[in-house]
Amino acid sequence: MELRHLRGFMAVAEELHFARAAERLHIEQSPLSRIIKDLEASLGARLFDRTSKGTRLTWPGEVLAADAQRIFQAVEQARCNVQAAAAGYRGSIRIALSDGVLPQPLSAILARCRTEEPEVEIRLHEVSLAQQLKGLCEDLFDVGFARSNQTGPGLSAQAVWHTPLAIAVPARHPLLVFKQIPLLEALRFPLVLFDPKTHTGLNEQIGRLLRQACVPINVAERVSSHEVMVSLIAAGYGIGLTCEAQMALCQSNEVVTRPLSGNPPPLTSYLLRTQSTPSEQLQRFISRITEAGSKDRRSTTQSEVTI
């Protein structure tokens, strides 16, 4: 079994159509069919069922597709490692970002890493929470950041920083009579919320707050980015519940952000990693994150006392 066999197999597995897969690979359909037949012969299993209704993976084909994906990820990682070594790096830290975690708290830490350990390459990967958890377990990432602490076996979650939750409303909206908006008043209007598929942890944290309100919720739209949220709010689709710091980056004269009244829980970001012993360079990175998180908690506590 060679990589060219797996490339042909994955093209068909993803397209479920031999002609489209061949076009994608820039080869004729007959050579692709031979590649699949050779692969099936070497493995002793039929990988596809081809009928008048179309092409579908068999169960052995589904198993191979999952393993082949990991093989290509490992090949890509090896390529990146070699290129990093050629560029003078002596190691790398692979960081996954999920749930719309605000990258700004990382900026100072990444700058410190570049200053103190310029020979260590930092790689950032924006993925879904499910992809992050899978990648951590399969050694595709060293650490990750998300807004969920539901990690599963073999992984740990550590709360590292907190950001206030806020209400985003269209300019000239009735809620702007409040300097701090009561949640029950806000819930009288349709909501624009994040899609749980792309912002799983964020959706969970906001969902807990909404359930505590014990009133009917009208969700007008679900979005996958703050930019789309701002656009829909400005267009009058509804109001948004989101991270105050993130909204500050999405500047718009048509949307106004106000804090929630009372003492709503902040949005929490977690550092996710495996429970195995980290390398020295990864341990130093984790220590920097922990130190920054401690400063964030002290700052949050002082703000609460001032309020």
- pTM (2 decimals)? 0.68
pLDDT of residue 304: 45
Read off the pLDDT of each residue in 285-301 and give the average, rounded to a whole number: 70
Residues 6 or more apart in contact with residue 51 via CB below 8 angstroms: none
Mean pLDDT (whole number) for 220-228: 89
pLDDT in tens, 43-79: 998 999 888 788 889 998 899 888 888 888 788 777 7
Domain ranges of the chain: 3-70, 88-161+268-306, 165-265
- Read off the pLDDT band of 302 (50, 70, 90): very low
Q: Which CATH class is domain 3-70?
A: mainly alpha
Res 193: pLDDT? 92
Q: What is the structure's pLDDT at 84? A: 64
Instruction: Name the residue with tokens 């209400």.
Output: 167
CB contact set of 103 (below 8 Å; sequence gap of 6+) = 97, 124
pLDDT of residue 246 exceeding 90: no
| Fold of the CATH domain 88-161+268-306 | D-Maltodextrin-Binding Protein; domain 2 (3.40.190)
What pLDDT does residue 296 have? 56
Tell me the C-alpha distance between 298 and 110, whole Å. 21
pLDDT value, residue 293: 64
Residue bearing the bigger pLDDT, 243 or 209: 209
**Whole-number Å distance between alpha carbons of 306 and 303:** 5
Q: What is the mean pLDDT of residues 132-159?
A: 89
Nearest 5°: phi and psi at 128?
-70, 165
Phi and psi at residue 197, in whole multiples of 5°? -70, -35
Percent of the chain with pLDDT over 90: 21
Helices (H), strands (E): how many in the chain? 11, 12
Assigned CATH class of 165-265? alpha beta
Distance in angstroms (rounded) separating the CA atoms of residues 225 and 194: 7
Mean model confidence pLDDT for the chain: 85
Same fold, 3-70 and 165-265: no
